[in-house]
Amino acid sequence: MTREEVEAFAMGLPAVTKVVQWGGSDVYKVGGKVFAICGLAGGLSFKVTPIGFVVLTEDGPARQAPYCAKGHWVNVALDAAPTEDLQDWIRTAHSLIAAKLTRRAKAELGLA
């Protein structure tokens, strides 16, 4: 998956915004909260569940995301996994972060 393909997919999810931060990284947010970062340390960093963190970092293609691992974030090289897997992980990261938004924020964003 290319950086452009990541952008096209992420921006197709509900209520997503993109900003460029942290030295040129594409930062994808839902409700102002980050769910994925493309470009940081040469890959795609995203939020996962605690179980997903263990599976992806111990047996999968991911490593702990720099500066974010404590919050269950992983980093995967864009060419280290099939496109379908990367899309599933981005979609899951989006839903994990969206689920933490307040009821009011979800309603305002059309996520409720």
Other CB atoms within 10 Å distance of the CB of residue 82: 10
For domain 3-109, give its CATH number from 3.60.70.12, 3.90.1150.30, 3.40.718.10, 1.10.287.10: 3.90.1150.30
CA angle 63, 38, 10 (to 5 degrees): 115
Q: Delimit the domains of the chain by residue range.
A: 3-109
What pLDDT, on a 0 to 100 scale, did the predictor assign at position 22?
84
CA–CA gap between residue 99 and residue 65 (Å, rounded) = 21
C-beta separation of 67 from 74 below 8 A: no
* Cα-only R_g, the chain: 13
Question: Block means of pLDDT (10 residues each) for the chain, length 112 residues?
Answer: 95 98 93 92 89 95 89 94 96 98 96 87
